[in-house]
């Protein structure tokens, strides 16, 4: 995986840094693993805009990803590495010994032809999914479950990884990409390795139009609005806007918005770095 800087032939290409897609081995998705995807454009069921700055974007098809990895003990061969427009990472097509096909998040270093396993007795090698009770300490993991058999919900974006720090009783302690250290049940599963497409952070769109292709409409700064529209709006000339806050008046940049009595607070050993 690598990125390339384009020659400044057009204004849009002058600042563009694009992915080379050299790791992609197949261009068309498997029909049985594809669904239609509905876009709301930020509107609710009555047509009222409830989320601003959403809308447009290129038409997409949703690839059904196996985040659970529950085919324990059945080897799956990596058939291809594919592009997924719905996520920053790459996806891999697994063909299992019983003939079933499934998409998974492709970890860094995964090669076509590799055989992957999940469940008890699997070796802690890249792409294999194990219970947190069986993964050696210090191992880099991704696609971590928070509740057993519910599927991975944490550490799924391009280049992300977490690390097993310790194991005590029915919990393991994991250091997440944000710097937060958190307890997770040992019955939960995680996949070995870091998520693919780590160069995604180096990409630069080069022009506003590419954001529109991704379904993002122009975002208006609060200080550019009138006082009636935003707490930071108004003022003579280019004023700073005062204390940073949201449109509803909630303070930003340092003010903690997490609920003090939140149920999952007891599982957080150390909060994320500021």
pLDDT at 255: 87
Write out the residue range of the structural domain in which residue 165 sits. Answer: 3-201
From residue 273, alpha-carbon distances to 45, 175, 251 in Å are: 38, 12, 19
DSSP symbols for 47-68: S-B-STTB------EEE-B-SS
In tens, the pLDDT along 190-209 reads: 999 999 999 999 999 999 99
Answer yes or no: is 172 within a domain. Answer: yes
The answer to the question of residue 240 being in a domain is no
211 in a domain, yes or no? no
pLDDT, mean over the chain? 95
- Total number of domains constituting the chain: 1
- Residue 218 belongs to some domain of the structure: no
CATH number of 60's domain: 2.40.50.140
C-alpha span between 79 and 113 (Å, rounded) = 6
DSSP strand pairing (144-145 vs 171-175): unpaired
Beta bridge partners of 245: 251
Q: Is residue 259 part of a domain?
A: no
Cα separation, 140 vs 121, in Å, equals 18
Condensed to tens digits (0 to 9), the pLDDT of residues 107-159 reads 999 999 999 999 999 999 999 999 999 999 999 999 999 999 999 999 999 99
Segment 228-256 shows an average pLDDT of 92
What are the tens digits of pLDDT across the range 169-182? 999 999 999 999 99
Examine residue 226 and state whether it is found in any structural domain, yes or no: no
In a domain, 261, yes or no: no
Evaluate whether residue 257 is within a structural domain: no
CA atoms of 160 and 176, how far apart (whole Å): 9
The continuous run of DSSP H or E covering 12 comes out as: helix 11-14
The C-alpha angle 138, 194, 85, rounded to 5 degrees, equals 160
Q: Is the model's pLDDT at 1 over the cut of 70?
A: no
Is the CB of residue 175 less than 8 Å from the CB of residue 139?
Answer: no
Note the pLDDT of residue 229.
95
pTM, 2 dp? 0.92
Radius of gyration of the chain (CA): 22
């Amino acid at each position: 995986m690598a990125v390339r800087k384009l020659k400044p032939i057009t204004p849009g290409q002058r600042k563009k840094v694009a992915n080379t897609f050299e790791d992609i081995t197949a261009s068309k998705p498997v029909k049985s693993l594809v669904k239609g995807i509905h876009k709301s454009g930020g509107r609710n069921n009555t047509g009222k805009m409830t989320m601003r700055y959403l809308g447009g974007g290129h038409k997409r098809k949703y690839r059904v990803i196996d985040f659970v990895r529950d085919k324990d003990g059945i080897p799956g061969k990596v058939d291809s590495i594919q592009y997924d427009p719905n996520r920053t990472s790459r996806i891999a097509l697994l063909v299992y010994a019983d003939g079933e096909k499934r998409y998974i998040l492709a970890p860094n270093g995964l090669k076509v032809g590799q055989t992957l396993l999940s469940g008890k007795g699997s070796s802690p090698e890249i792409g294999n999914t194990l219970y947190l009770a069986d993964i050696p300490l210090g191992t880099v993991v991704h696609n971590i479950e928070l509740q057993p058999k519910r599927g991975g919900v944490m550490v799924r974006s391009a280049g992300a990884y977490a690390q097993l720090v310790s194991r005590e009783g029915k919990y393991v302690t994991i250091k997440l990409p944000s710097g937060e250290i958190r307890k997770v049940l040992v019955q939960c599963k995680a996949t070995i390795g870091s998520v693919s497409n780590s160069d995604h952070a180096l990409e630069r769109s080069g022009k506003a139009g590419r954001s529109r292709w991704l379904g993002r409409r122009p975002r208006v700064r609060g200080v550019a609005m009138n006082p009636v529209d935003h707490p930071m709006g108004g003022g003579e000339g280019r004023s700073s806007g005062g204390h940073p806050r949201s449109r509803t008046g909630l303070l930003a940049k340092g003010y903690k918005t997490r609920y003090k009595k939140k149920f999952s607070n007891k599982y957080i050993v150390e909060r994320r770095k500021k």
